[in-house]
């Protein structure tokens, strides 16, 4: 099996297990909207549910669930196609896309199972809160960041060959 497929399977398995296990734990051990300070005035575990996308976008739309499922399905399919086209030496790109893939899949599982996404990581500065997020969201953000780095490095490699 090619490296890009092995990394997709390994990363996806790890992220999905961590994401779903943490969400199940939060759901079973905390009351909705309850919060546990971890670092006072900076970081808490706060149980929230998000019906929308990032920052609650489209939370009250009648078409939100079909829309999010369709967008996620398209993104997952595109990622699989792109991973198939990667060269064997594009390990960082494979890992990055695998993080994005597994993050999208983790949130799709929530949307199918619950109709919304469980968020619980609450970064804040006193009363100024960043929107709560979860492990799947974190995987997507880290994946996008690493993909941007890989694209930059790939561009430098291409210019160096000219």
Per annotation, catalytic residue among 110, 119, 122, 150:
119
In this structure, the strands spanning 117-125 and 128-129 are antiparallel
Question: DSSP secondary-structure letter at 133?
Answer: B
Q: Is 119 annotated as catalytic?
A: yes
In 30-162, where does DSSP find H-type helix?
64-85, 91-114, 135-161
Per annotation, catalytic residue among 19, 110, 122, 137:
137
Residues facing 118 on adjacent strands: 49
Each residue of 31-49: b (16+ CB within 10 Å) or e? eeeebeeeeeeeebbbbbb
Cα separation, 118 vs 48, whole angstroms = 6
Q: Is 89 annotated as catalytic?
A: no
For the annotated catalytic residues, the residue numbers are 119, 137
């Amino acid at each position: 099996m090619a490296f890009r497929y092995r990394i997709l399977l390994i990363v996806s398995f790890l992220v999905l297990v961590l994401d779903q296990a943490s969400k199940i734990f939060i759901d079973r051990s905390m009351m909705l909207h309850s919060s546990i300070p971890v670092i006072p005035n900076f970081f808490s575990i706060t149980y929230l549910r998000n019906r929308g996308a990032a920052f609650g976008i489209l939370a009250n739309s009648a078409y939100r669930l079909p829309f999010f499922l369709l967008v996620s399905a398209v993104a997952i399919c595109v990622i699989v196609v792109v991973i198939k086209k990667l060269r064997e030496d594009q390990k960082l790109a494979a890992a990055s896309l695998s993080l994005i893939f597994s993050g999208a899949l983790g949130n799709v599982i929530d949307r199918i199972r619950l109709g919304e996404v469980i968020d619980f990581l609450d970064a804040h500065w006193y009363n100024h809160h960043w929107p709560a997020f979860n492990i799947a969201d974190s995987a997507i953000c880290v994946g996008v960041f690493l993909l941007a780095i890989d694209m930059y490095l790939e561009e430098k490699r291409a210019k160096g060959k000219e």
